């Protein structure tokens, strides 16, 4: 729960400090005293939107400090998510928020800088805030649906999540089919181009290294005569048919001479051996050169075939790859892509079947969600009706209708409508159409109590109500105060109110008092409470009749609380 709050330079509040305990705390004050600024300060502390206009005129920054007591409720999951390491016996979290006059906002938790979203995440674990705007929002269909889903708890949330997933899959399946159908003609053209390229590659059956082979072949066939001249000269130098001196015969003569000389000088044996080896190598070389020369001949047809082959390869490479290995890789990728886009009719059928299956899943998940909502709606109607009976609406009937929609929507198969029959002679009408301000206030409070009780253990939680009693008076106001006091038996409740009947039920009564340009917070004792209730009743200082009425209200409230 919120155990302390300090507000500095927020609107008309120069500096105010308030220590809060469990139970019901009411905040009252004259119009313009700064009740709105207290709520603005609380909003900043809880990670609300920052508006530089709330910074006190002439101040550099507004500052709000708060202390949350963890002794009754310790949100371990959020503490872990925010990386807040607390000792086992550490039962306080200190939160700070500053807002400069220029609009710069900063947040801290336990002295460490944190994003404002972290303050909001932590605040949501401890505090629930409701104001007059919530009563207006209560008329909205989405708000009513969200309240029902919240009331349904984990079971309904599971069904809701299943529906969300099914809906998202159906939306994606529809988008995929639409995109495919819009681009079907383009896919057909792409498939045709891929098939032509693959046909060409399959026909050519290119092999790695073939480009160099073709280049060599074309150069050789294009230069037969010049090659023949050079090779003939080489052949003649290596071996002469008419016994003229040539490289082979001269080398053999050198080898023979060295062999004879080695008989006289053994050191020449190695040279003689090398000369013999050279003679053999030259003879082999001469044989290979002569063989090349024998096979060298002009072949225009072979040259034409080589040129044609290279032209086809170049055509296949164009726009697809830089070389044959790249072309082979392209062919593999093209085959995979063709499998995806080639059969447009078959693929359309496949995507259509997937969409139909996704839509069936939506209906199945939607039926499960509708069933969970129907169960929650029945119980919520009963709970709120019971709460209204304790709020001076003993004959009211609150129901939750599930109106089936013509087709599934993102939120389910039905629209949620809150209906209220204020008394037996009144028609049951949607809350958005016929409820008065006072009725809305009590329905809002009844809903909040029902939701709070459905959530389980309320110890350590804080509920803040901003004039939730708007439009209520007389005995109904007393019943509102009684119900808030009952809620405060299990949770901390802070109420900003203008009704003395509600303030009379407070365990702690705080008055906002404006002096000059500043506002202070004062915790009232019993005598001061009676005076404040008198002021609220009469609008004057302390007329005797109003004071007596105030004392009577305190007496009534104490008697009611003793029976809770």
134 and 10 in one domain?
A: yes
Task: Tell me if 331 is assigned to some domain.
Answer: yes
294 and 216 in one domain?
A: yes
Q: Give the pLDDT of residue 2.
A: 92
Final residue before a domain boundary, out of 306, 341, 376: 341
Give the model confidence (pLDDT) of 160-214 as tens digits.
999 999 999 999 999 999 988 888 788 888 888 888 889 988 988 888 888 888 8
215 and 118 in one domain?
A: no
Task: Tell me if 456 is assigned to some domain.
Answer: yes
The 3-class SS string of 69-106 reads ECCCCCCHHHHHHCCCCCCCCCCEEEEEEEEECCCCEE
Token output for 53? 């206009």
Final residue before a domain boundary, out of 318, 341, 364: 341
130 and 11 in one domain?
A: yes
Q: Give the pLDDT of residue 298.
A: 64
Q: What is the mean pLDDT of residues 436-443?
A: 83
Task: Tell me if 37 is assigned to some domain.
Answer: yes
Higher pLDDT, 125 or 386: 386
Task: Tell me if 423 is assigned to some domain.
Answer: no
Task: Tell me if 396 is assigned to some domain.
Answer: no
Lowest mean pLDDT among 334-343, 419-428, 493-502, 542-551: 542-551
Mean pLDDT of the chain: 86
Q: Give the pLDDT of residue 390.
A: 84
The 3-class SS string of 300-336 reads HHHHHHHHHHHHHHHHHHCCCCCCHHHHHHHHHHHHH
Task: Tell me if 185 is assigned to some domain.
Answer: no
121 and 28 in one domain?
A: yes
Full domain range(s) for residue 331: 195-341
312 and 201 in one domain?
A: yes
What is d(CA 134, CA 146) in angstroms, rounded to the nearest whole number?
13
222 and 313 in one domain?
A: yes
Q: What CATH number is given to the structural domain containing 100?
A: 3.40.50.300
216 and 119 in one domain?
A: no
292 and 200 in one domain?
A: yes
293 and 221 in one domain?
A: yes
Task: Tell me if 421 is assigned to some domain.
Answer: no
Give the model confidence (pLDDT) of 80-111 as tens digits.
888 888 887 788 999 999 999 999 999 999 99
214 and 331 in one domain?
A: yes
Give the model confidence (pLDDT) of 205-257 as tens digits.
888 888 888 887 777 776 677 776 787 778 778 877 665 677 777 888 888 88
206 and 135 in one domain?
A: no
Q: Give the pLDDT of residue 374.
A: 97
Separate counts of helices (H) and strands (E) for the chain: 19, 15
What is d(CA 543, CA 494) in angstroms, rounded to the nearest whole number?
28
Burial status of residue 388 (CB atoms within 10 A of its CB: 0-12, 13-18, 19 or more) = buried
Final residue before a domain boundary, out of 293, 308, 341: 341
- Counting the structural domains of the chain, the total is 2
| Percent of the chain with pLDDT strictly greater than 70 | 96
Task: Tell me if 408 is assigned to some domain.
Answer: no
């Amino acid at each position: 729960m919120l155990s302390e709050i300090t507000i500095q330079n927020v609107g008309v509040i120069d500096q105010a400090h308030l220590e809060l305990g469990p139970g019901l705390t009411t905040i009252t004050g004259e119009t313009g005293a700064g009740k709105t600024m207290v709520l603005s300060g609380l909003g900043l502390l809880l990670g609300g939107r920052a508006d530089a206009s709330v910074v006190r005129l002439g101040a550099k920054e507004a500052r709000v400090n708060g202390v949350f007591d963890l002794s009754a409720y310790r949100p371990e999951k959020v503490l872990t998510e925010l990386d807040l390491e607390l000792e086992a016996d550490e039962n306080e979290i200190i939160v700070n928020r500053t807002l400069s006059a220029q609009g710069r906002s900063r947040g801290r938790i336990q002295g460490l800088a944190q994003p404002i979203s972290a303050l909001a995440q932590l605040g949501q674990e401890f505090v629930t805030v409701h104001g007059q705007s919530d009563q207006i929002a209560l008329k909205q269909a989405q708000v009513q649906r969200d309240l029902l889903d919240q009331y349904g708890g984990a079971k309904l949330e599971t069904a809701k999540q299943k529906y969300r997933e099914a809906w998202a899959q159906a939306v994606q399946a529809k988008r995929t089919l639409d995109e495919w159908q819009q681009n079907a003609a383009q896919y057909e053209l792409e498939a045709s181009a891929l098939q032509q390229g693959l046909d060409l590659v399959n026909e050519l059956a290119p092999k790695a290294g073939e480009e160099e082979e073709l280049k060599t072949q074309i150069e050789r066939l294009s230069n037969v005569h010049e090659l023949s001249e050079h090779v003939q000269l080489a052949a003649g130098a290596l071996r002469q048919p008419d016994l003229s001196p040539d490289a082979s015969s001269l080398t053999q003569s050198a080898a023979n001479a060295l062999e004879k000389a080695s008989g006289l000088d053994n050191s020449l044996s190695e040279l003689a051996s090398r000369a013999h080896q050279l003679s053999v190598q030259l003879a082999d070389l001469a044989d290979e050169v002569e063989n090349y020369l024998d096979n060298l001949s002009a072949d225009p047809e072979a040259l034409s075939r080589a040129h044609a082959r290279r032209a086809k390869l170049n055509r296949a490479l164009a726009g697809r790859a830089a070389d044959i290995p790249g072309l082979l890789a392209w062919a593999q990728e093209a085959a995979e892509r063709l499998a995806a886009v080639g059969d447009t009719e078959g693929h359309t059928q496949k995507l259509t079947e997937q969409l139909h299956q996704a839509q069936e899943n939506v209906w199945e998940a939607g039926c499960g969600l509708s069933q969970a909502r129907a169960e929650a709606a029945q119980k919520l109607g009963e709970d709120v009706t019971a709460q209204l009976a304790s709020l001076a609406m003993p004959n009211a009937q609150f129901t939750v209708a599930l109106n089936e929609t013509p087709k599934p929507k993102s939120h389910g198969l039905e629209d949620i409508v809150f209906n209220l029959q204020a008394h037996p002679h009144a028609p049951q009408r949607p809350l958005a159409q016929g409820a008065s301000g006072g009725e809305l206030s009590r329905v809002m409070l009844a809903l909040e109590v029902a939701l709070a009780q459905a959530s389980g253990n309320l110890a350590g939680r804080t509920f803040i109500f901003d004039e939730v009693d708007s439009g209520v008076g007389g005995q109904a106001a007393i019943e509102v105060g009684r119900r808030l006091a009952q809620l405060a038996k299990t949770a901390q409740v802070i109420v900003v109110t203008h009704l003395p009947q509600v303030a009379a039920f407070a365990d702690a009564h705080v008055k906002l008092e404006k002096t000059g340009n500043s506002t202070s917070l004062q915790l009232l004792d019993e005598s001061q409470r009676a005076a404040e209730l008198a002021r609220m009743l009469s609008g004057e200082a302390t007329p005797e009749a109003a004071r007596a009425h105030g004392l009577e209200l305190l007496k009534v409230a104490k008697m009611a609380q003793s029976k809770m």
